[in-house]
Chains A and B, each alone.
Chain A
Amino acid sequence: MRHVPRLGAIVVAILLIGSACSDDGGAADPGPSVEGGVDATISLEVLDGDLVGGSRQEDIDIGDSVEVIVSGNSDDQVHIHGYDRYVDLVDGEGSVSFDALIPGTFEIELEASGRLLIRMTVS
């Protein structure tokens, strides 16, 4: 029982830390995106089924209008998971635009080979 005051202090301190910081825990409001404009571009150069420079992480602000532009020489299909958008590559090229309204981390990959290209975090 003699532990109780000290424990109380710890619990109170933890709760204070929690409430003091909880403002940034709320859902981010999708910001206004410019009509027709593009806020973020993800450029991918895919040569012989590999992403030039290797797989990488891309961070996108929620609500942004995103354009994925693919160039190179692979006739595959690029799949943006979660958003379920596909880019059919013709002579290695293709592009797709979407509004980043779904928060989370999503894989962008070459559909046929399963090669992971981008890990896209929308937050």
Chain B
Amino acid sequence: MIADLVAHGIGGRTDLPLPAWQLAWAAGFSVAISFVALGAFWERPHLAAAARGRALWTAIGPTSRVLEATAKLIGLFLFGVVLFAAWRGNTNFAVNISGDAFLIWFWVGLQFVSAVFGDVWRAFNPYFTIADSAAWVKSRVTQAEISSVDHGEGSLWPAAIAIFAYLWYELAYHAAAAPRSIGVFLTLYSIVMLAGASRYGRGWVRTSDGFAVLFSKLSAMAIFHLDDDRRLRIRPPLAGIATLTPVRGMVPFIVVVLGSTTFDGFTRSSIWFDISKNRLGWGLTAVHTLGLLAVVLIVGLAYVFAINLMATVTGESTEELSGAFGPTLVPIAAAYAVAHYFSLLVLDGQRMFIQISDPFGRGWDLFGTKDYAIDWLLVSPSVIAWVQTLAIAIGHVLAVAAAHDRAISRYPHDVAVRSQYPMLGVMILYTVAGLFLLLGA
């Protein structure tokens, strides 16, 4: 009963503030690199050519079919376990697998895996499996040909709304870690996804499941990808950013993700502590909701302002520019995720070793790991601080490089350089703001 009311997210532990000198170092480095990018970066686009990469294995035939089916079954099984734990398991989130599985390992873990290795979730996503199975059954019953799936051509606005709904739940709702709350959220989210799939066709889930879209966009940075002929390929990190085509709703989607992570950082500050410390329950939710909306709005307005400035340089429409340069924010989104959630994954994430032995909090010990002691000193504060600093700095460099590559491929060199001033400005703003939040001032 008690844990149902717990008024905070997972863990209740946050990182120590970043030392000011380290922040200055990262900010200075990012600004310096940005100016190098204007003049001395490469003069011909490189990413598009490198994006295809080298073929490793062709995913056709019995082995691939067995792997695919296995992944789908694992995805359905894990989803079922988490949903069951959320509705029927112990109400204390610390001994119920649903909170950590959903909020840490799924949400944070898969962002990291997607950005580094590739779009793994696509193989496991239970919504794809259910929608595909339903389409197959329907085609059998009606004797009609199974409808094809278009991959990612639809507007991403539904996905932006879906991911905002999740981020509101995680960051603003006052009892996000409580198992029953997770049960309610996952159930509602699943109903919307599957109802949409049955109404608009199974392709709809591909562009509307906010999680799937985020993991898929992040995977553009990753070293592995599956091409249209189902060949598994390896390529340099970041190169795939060049292959992200303009899609409606892409910029709002990224802005929601960036703005929410920024807000999450802001809630750790002493300013926010003073604003929220005397609020409880829905009163706390209300303040968090306003804060979240405000930060997302500010992040979005900064971007719109930069795009408008850019339009005056290149003479193109802001819509065209948003589509072309929106994907270059993906590395910043990945960097924010690493900077804010790295320690959550490696420290709080260890609770998973205990919870897999007793997923529903019933006193089981399935794998003999019930008594595992979390090592809170697994990574030291200075290691965490360096991961944060380097993530933000490297994310910034990658974003600047991706934007430069885009500009060079679109405009003559001098226009490309001039067009980059506003974009660099907004990227420096995001980077320095991201760093300042790590000060915890």
Residue ranges of A at the interface with B (Cβ–Cβ < 8 Å): 1, 3-4, 7, 10-11, 13-15, 17-18, 21-22, 24-28, 54-55, 57, 77, 79, 81-82, 84, 101-107, 109, 111-116, 119, 121, 123
Contacts across chains A and B counted by CB atoms under 8 Å: 115
**With A21-B21, A105-B14 in contact, is A112–B5 under 8 Å at CB?**
yes
Kindly state whether residue B380 has any CB partner on chain A within 8 Å. yes
9 CB < 8 A contacts A-B: A14-B25, A17-B21, A27-B383, A81-B12, A101-B376, A104-B376, A106-B13, A106-B14, A116-B8
- Name the 4 nearest CB pairs between A and B, nearest first: A114-B7, A81-B12, A21-B21, A27-B380
Stretch at the interface among B79-87, B187-195, B270-278, B321-329: B270-278
- The residue of chain A having its C-beta at the shortest distance from the C-beta of B347 within the complex is A104
**With A7-B32, A14-B28, A104-B13 in contact, is A114–B40 under 8 Å at CB?**
no
Kindly state whether residue B19 has any CB partner on chain A within 8 Å. yes
**With A7-B35, A25-B382, A109-B8 in contact, is A81–B278 under 8 Å at CB?**
no
Kindly state whether residue B22 has any CB partner on chain A within 8 Å. yes
Residue ranges of B at the interface with A (Cβ–Cβ < 8 Å): 2-3, 5-8, 11-16, 19, 21-22, 24-25, 28-29, 32, 35-36, 39-40, 94, 174, 268, 270, 273, 277-278, 280-281, 376-377, 380-383, 385-386, 440
**Contacting pair B5 A18 (CB below 8 A):** no
A106–B343 Cα gap in the complex (Å)? 14
A1 CB, min distance to chain B CBs, angstroms: 6
**Contacting pair A14 B32 (CB below 8 A):** yes
A112–B15 Cα gap in the complex (Å)? 25
**Contacting pair A101 B19 (CB below 8 A):** no
Enumerate chain B residues within 8 angstroms of A106, measured Cβ to Cβ: 12-14
**Contacting pair A116 B21 (CB below 8 A):** no
- Checking A102, A103, A107, A115 against B280 with a beta-carbon cut-off of 8 angstroms, the contacting residue is A115
A8–B268 Cα gap in the complex (Å)? 36
Enumerate chain A residues within 8 angstroms of B277, measured Cβ to Cβ: 54-55, 116
- Checking B15, B29, B94, B380 against A14 with a beta-carbon cut-off of 8 angstroms, the contacting residue is B29
